[in-house]
Amino acid sequence: MTVLVPTMGALHKGHQVLIKRARTLDKDVIVSIFVNPLQFENKEDLEKYPSNPKRDIEIATIAGATEIWFPEYEELYPEGFTMRSAGSLGNKYEGESRPGHFDGVVTVINRLFAVAKPSKAIFGEKDFQQLAIIKAMKSKVEIIAVPTVREFDGLAMSSRNIRLSEAGRSSALVIHRALAAAKLAPTVEIAQEILKTTLATESGFDQDYATIIDENTFEPASESTMQRRAIVAGWVEGVRLIDNMPMVGR
């Protein structure tokens, strides 16, 4: 059986962790590299997405990939293909800020699964809403989640980080500071306040949303919520960054 690690390229150490996890499940690991235009609501963001195929091949191979797949657009999207809907969850948070984004995600994942026919697929928790939506597809492919991989200073690893200047990267660290501080709060209300106020201390961070949710329903968390998670999104130097962290529940 085969394990698939879907990516959009610009691979980094976080991707290597996903690939290494895949290798613990099966000896056959496919890493797909495809910048999916259907999930970019912003054409400029698509054009700026980093690409370095040669380096991607090196990184994936070192991590243990047995096949590196660069599908062509026509291979995934033949004439007459049908767009998939991400459902109601696809319209919240990231979906509200990026209309159609998650429809593009479930469409490409559905097609990758159909063509590669893996038994399992690996996804990181950094894109937590995406992970939940893919699980909700109820595919025959088993979905394996891997915790967010972070830099030494707490910044969540992302292909977008290379677009940040030194000052911008410094500003981005406020996200992890806010998440870590909120996790120590004794109540949901206090955690929410700490999350917001900490993010507000960094002028270089333009907040989109920051809230504590029930990670099973994505509804706002309450004191009775068993599994709480803080989710954050915003911009630094025009680069959209997202992150999340499980909070202490009941």
Among residues 12, 15, 101, 176, the one annotated as catalytic is 15
Known catalytic residue at 15: yes
**Which pairs with CB-CB distance under 8 Å and at least 24 residues apart come from 65-69?**
65/5, 65/19, 65/22, 65/29, 65/30, 65/31, 66/27, 66/28, 66/29, 66/30, 67/28, 67/29, 67/30, 67/31, 68/30, 68/31, 68/33, 69/30, 69/31, 69/32, 69/33, 69/116
| Residue 232: count of CB within 10 angstroms of its CB | 26
Alpha-carbon span 117 to 141, nearest angstrom: 8
CA atoms 120, 70, 133, 48: torsion sign? positive
Cα distances (Å, whole numbers) of residue 84 to 38, 137, 193: 11, 10, 37
Encoded tokens for 135: 């699980």
Q: Which residues carry out catalysis?
A: 15
